[in-house]
Structure 1
Amino acid sequence: MSSATLTIAGILLITVVTVAYGGLTLLTHLARRKAGYLDNPVRRGLWTAGHAHAGVLVLFALVVLPYVDQAHASDGTRSLIRGLFLAAPILMPLGFFLSVVRPQDTRPNKLIWLTVAGGASLIVGSLLLGINLL
């Protein structure tokens, strides 16, 4: 595995700590029946989605990273693919969490667009990798 791929894998593994911390935070909100979480279905739903997407996307990125070095692509394209797979599990959950930061928020703010950016980076990275593996 290339050093660039190992670096991205290392960063993704470090983000697992933030995913675990997020899960602990959600569990604490549930256990303590925290106002602004249990009584706010929009916030609860988006934060749950953010946590779930973070975990799944980190795992997905770690699984596909070894294939980047096998792709028939230029170094620049490989770097772009790695960056896209790093961006997705960061941007998408951030959009879910930051769009309803305040306990009284009942509608997502404009930061929800970070989820779209994360989804776009996942799609583009997957297409680029898939095409360059064929």
Structure 2
Amino acid sequence: MSPATLSTAGVLLITVPLVAYGGITLLTFLMRNVPGYNDNPVRRGLWRAGHAHAGVLVLFSLVALLYIDQSGLSEGMRSLVRTLIVAAPILMPLGFFLSVIRPGDTKPSRLIWLTFAGGLSLAVGTLILGVSLL
């Protein structure tokens, strides 16, 4: 593995305890019946989606990193793909969380577009990587 890929993997691995902490926080909100969470289905649903996407996408990104250095891409394209794939577990959860940050929010704010940006980043990065591996 290249040093850039190893560094990226190291940063992703450091985020795993943060995702776990987020899960504990959501569980605490449920158990303590925190106002603005249990009584707000939009916020509850988006925060659960943000937590789930964070966990899955961090793991997916770690697996994808194993293939980047095996691709026939130039170093510049490898950096681009690495960035695109790692941006997804950052942007998508942020969009879910920040779009309903206030307990009284009953619909997502414009920050929900971060979720779409993360999805696009993931799609482009994995498409480039997948084609380069064929």
Q: TM-score scaled by structure 1?
A: 0.99
- Give the corresponding residue for 1:82: 82
- Give the corresponding residue for 1:99: 99
- Structure 2: distance between partners of 1:7 and 1:81: 15
- Structure 2: distance between partners of 1:101 and 1:38: 14
- Give the corresponding residue for 2:128: 128
Name the % identity. Answer: 71
- Give the corresponding residue for 1:60: 60
Read off the aligned partner of 2:80 and give its amino acid letter: L
- Structure 2: distance between partners of 1:57 and 1:30: 24
**Per-residue deviation, 1:85:** 1.2
**Per-residue deviation, 1:30:** 0.5
For 2:129, what is the secondary structure of its paired residue? helix
Q: TM-score scaled by structure 2?
A: 0.99
| Count of aligned pairs | 134
1:48-67: CA deviations, max 9, x gaps? Answer: 00000000000000011010
Read off the aligned partner of 1:24 and give its amino acid letter: I
- Structure 2: distance between partners of 1:18 and 1:99: 19
Name structure 2 gaps, 5 residues minimum.
none
- Structure 2: distance between partners of 1:127 and 1:44: 32
For 2:73, what is the secondary structure of its paired residue? coil
Q: Give the superposed CA RMSD.
A: 0.5
- Structure 2: distance between partners of 1:17 and 1:121: 24
- Give the corresponding residue for 1:109: 109
Is residue 40 of structure 1 aligned with residue 33 of structure 2?
no
Name structure 1 gaps, 5 residues minimum.
none
**Per-residue deviation, 1:17:** 1.7
Question: Segments of 4+ in structure 1 off by > 6 A?
Answer: none
